[in-house]
Amino acid sequence: MKTQSVIILTASLCLGFLSAQAQFGPRGGMGGATAGPRFSGSTARLFGDNSSFSATMEMQTKGASADDAMTMPGKISFDQGKSRFEMDLTQMKSDKMRPEAAAQMKSMGMDKMITISRPDKKVSYLIYPGMQAYAETPLQDPSAGAAASDFKFETTELGKETVDGHDCVKNKAVVTDKEGNLHESIIWNATDLKKFPVKIEQAEQGTAVTMLFKDVKLSGPEASLFEPPSDFTKYDSMQTMMQQQMMKRFGAGAGGFPPPRPPRSQ
């Protein structure tokens, strides 16, 4: 069915965007499975003493070609290594996103997505409120729960600029992990927000990522934000969740996914 093909294609595109976020950045920062941006490990060191905050965030990624560029707005909550990113996939801007695909995503309840990273539990959650379902997967990055003391943090001032009305000190930041790996970023520290980096630029493996933060609140988010809803259906993988939801939507024999085949007898 054409509808299902559009949905699958769009889901793959969105997961590809999340993978770019997850795979990009310093090791110990956003590494791991497809679970959206996480701000633990070396990436957390970029926020200095701001160990708890919430903000609206826009993430921009640029690859080698122009059609690889994507922009995703969302809301980030962070508390002592735990992070939550809420996004509306219909708001994602990309040349690869077809208008009909966004409409189909919404009709399927796949337009809203929440990703939660819990380094303390070594798991991540990918939540679809519209489907009342989520997938729990293990964090693949062994250093996701590393302490701040495991990283050396150095900055070099590059100048002073204004970002979204905030007077900022533009710095080159270098984070060195325990293995001696260097992770470089350009950050804009707002002087009126306890040096919070309202803009971060990084590049690795041919991908450039810019993160812009607005409406920053430096108070601690509620603990419940970092837990999946107790009344949602839990799955052990993204693939299983999507397959089961598709089967519920379309049903086997109606152009949907066929049921699993029984094992062959020996």
pLDDT by residue (tens digit) across 79-120?
A: 988 999 999 888 888 776 666 777 777 777 788 999 998 988
The more confident residue out of 11 and 29 is 11
Please report which confidence band the pLDDT of residue 39 belongs to, taking 50, 70 and 90 as the band edges. Answer: confident
pLDDT score, position 150: 80
Tokens coding 67: 């059609």
For residue 72, report the phi and psi dihedrals to the nearest 5 degrees.
-135, 115
- 2-148+213-250, CATH topology level: outer membrane lipoprotein receptor (LolB), chain A (2.50.20)
Mean pLDDT of 28-41: 48
The packing angle between helices 2-23 and 99-107, to 10°, is: 100
Confidence label for 78 from pLDDT (cuts 50, 70 and 90):
very high
Cα–Cα dist 188/197, whole Å: 5
Q: Tell me the whole-structure pTM to 2 decimals.
A: 0.78
Place of tokens 């984070």: 175
70-79 and 52-62 strand pairing? antiparallel
pLDDT in tens, 226-252: 999 999 999 998 888 888 877 777 664
Confidence at 141, pLDDT banded by 50, 70, 90: low
Q: What is the pLDDT of residue 259?
A: 44
Q: What is the mean pLDDT of residues 11-29?
A: 45
DSSP letter assigned to residue 24: S
What percentage of residues in the chain have a pLDDT greater than 90? Answer: 38
Tokens in use for 85? Answer: 């990113």
Tell me what the mean pLDDT of segment 1-28 comes to: 47
Q: Please name the amino acid found at residue 221.
A: P
pLDDT score, position 262: 45
Specify the pLDDT at position 34. Answer: 38
Q: How far is the C-alpha of 126 from the C-alpha of 133, rounded, in Å?
A: 9
